[in-house]
Every structure is written in structure tokens, then in C-alpha cells.
Amino acid sequence: MARVNPTEARFPSVPPGSGHYESFYLKACDPHRPLGVWIRYTVHKRPGGEPNGSLWFTLFDAADDGPRARKLTLPGPRAGGGEWIGVGEAAMRPGEAVGSLDGSAWELRFESGEEPLLHLPRDWMYRAPLPRTKLLSPVPWARFDGSLWVDGREIPVDGWRGMVGHNWGAQHAERWIWLHAATESGDWLDAAIGRVRLGPLTTPWIANGAVRLGGVRHALGGPGRRVTVREAPDRCEFVIPGPGGVSAAGRVAAARKDVVGWVYADPDGSEHHTANCSIADMRVSVEREGAAPAVLAVEGGAAYELGMRERDHGIPIQPFPDG
């Protein structure tokens, strides 16, 4: 059985009658100040319809009044020919992400010695109908160089830390959390936590991911492991156990003004609101059998995302439809 290809776009092979969403995304942050960027290249396809591609750009700068966010949707997304995904003239390919929209542009290069992170515990789960959301990180820790341009301002990107992710599926989770933190030394945490709707029922929180400390990668989450979460749009406290006696307990928080709100659409026409900040503060204590607890801490450079159904969360939503 072929192994999972972490950078293969799935949308070209989706049957015409099926719905699909897919996203390649990157997050990169200045290691010296709370300044970062979150860029997504996405595909959305309704059942029986043609796929559309979208570019999403958000600059987070704690010195500003709030994030600067843009979005552009175009027909005819593409993949192959050396590109992981292309939308209009923008593309993500091995070691590079380029694009522009509405006064913003980026030319970024990334490199990493990290192996991809497959969040789901079994390869067959990436090919089976369930779970309906598939996620992995082709590059869970990366160094970024290049330039950003936003409203006439050029921002040099020199040794920024971040990651590259990829997800796809027929339906988003009913509720989800994404956490990511990366240090200059190469330690990182990358975890997704979700509640999934099964008919009239919604599952408890289920986590999948990993933490890397001192050159050793430890799996987090997995079936049957109880996850504790207390979440709000601008903060979250969590405990994620893993195999072998590993447990990660932490807190992530952001200034509410630095959180961006988006509409995420499902192929069936339903919607979530999503709150995201890529310049959050995160502190995680990791317990391991036979070792003293270790701490992973990042100030002004961690990612926190909460996907939710409610509309009374108080985060301003960007005026861009999805789908």
C-alpha cells in the first residue's frame, strides 16, 4: 500500500458529484517581535459544481490596531507540474510560496529538516471516507526567508519560524482547535483538537498531533485518550495526553484585537466562524516517563485557531464569503 503523500492535492481526483474542501497554508513569525503572517491557498467545491480557488492573507502585527486581512476567490485552481497548489498567479511549491492580492504580496522561501507530521494515527484513515476531515503538516517546523508587501510597506522575512500545513475533506469538524508553536532551537508543538458530529451526536474532544523537544518527537492524542479543553476565541487551556506516558498541559492566549475572524464554508452550504491569531503566547509543560517535565514557551509567535458554530463570540468577521 502506497504511503501518504503529504503534498499531493486531492481536489483534482474528487468525483463531480462530491463536495470537497482543501487548504495548503503557512504560518511564519518574526522570532524577535510579535509580527507574523498566515497565508492560505484553498479549494472549495460544492457537490455537482466546479471547484473555486481562494487566496487568504493575514498580517498580524501587535503594533497595529488589528490584523490586516485580504481574500480573493478565482475559478480554476490547479495542481501538478511542480506546484502543490496554484490559484491565479499565486502558487505554493516545494520550498516556496508566492502570490499577491489587493495591495498585499509575498515571496517566501522555506526550508526544514523535519519529517512530515501525519496527525491521523493510521495511513488508511487518509484514504477512507471517515474521518471526513484529513490533516497533516508537510513541514511542521520551518525557517522562512523572503519578503512581504502590505499597503506599500515592505517587510523583510529573515529567519522567521513557522510551518506548512495541508488539510482536506468532505466536511469540517463540528468544532475544532489548532495549536502551533515553534522555537528557534527547533522545538515545536503542532496539534489539532476536534469534536465530530455523528448523526445527532457530537463526540468529545479528540486530539492528534505531536511535540518535539530536544530532537525527540512525541505523539500526542489518539483514540481513547481523554482531552481536557477550556476554550474561548482569544485563549485556551488544554491537557493532551499521548502514548508512553506523555502529556502536554498548556495555555495559549492572544490580545483580542489581534484575532482575525473568518467565515469557513462546508461543501454542503453550512458555515463556521473561525477565530485565528498567529502571534499568540503559548506555554506548555510536557511530562514524559523517566524525565523531568520540559517547558515549551513562545511569546508573540504561536498560532491558535478556534472553529465554531456560534455567532455571539465578539470577534469581527472579515467581509468575505466562502465557497
Residue 315 forms part of a structural domain: no
CA distance 122 to 189: 20
The cell for 31 is: 522570532
Q: Span 234-239, mean pLDDT? A: 98
Predicted pLDDT of residue 2? 61
Look-up of cell digits 523583510: 156
Q: Span 201-226, mean pLDDT? A: 94
Model confidence pLDDT, tens digit, residues 138-165: 999 999 999 999 999 999 999 999 999 9
List CB contacts of 269: < 8 A, sequence separation 6 or more.
46, 323
Domain count, the chain: 1
Residue 92 forms part of a structural domain: yes
pTM (2 decimals)?
0.96
Residue 31 forms part of a structural domain: yes
Residue 229 forms part of a structural domain: yes
Model confidence pLDDT, tens digit, residues 41-67: 999 999 999 999 999 999 999 999 999
Residue 272 forms part of a structural domain: yes
Residue 319 forms part of a structural domain: no
The cell for 9 is: 492535492
For the chain, give the percent of residues with pLDDT over 70.
Answer: 99
Residue 317 forms part of a structural domain: no
Neighbours of 6 (CB within 10 A): 18
CA distance 50 to 73: 13
Model confidence pLDDT, tens digit, residues 85-96: 999 999 999 999
* CATH number of the domain that residue 95 is part of: 2.40.370.10
Domain extent at residue 64: 20-308
Residue 248 forms part of a structural domain: yes
**8 Å CB contact between 195 and 205:** yes
User: Could you give phi then psi for residue 15, rounded to 5 degrees?
Assistant: -60, 150
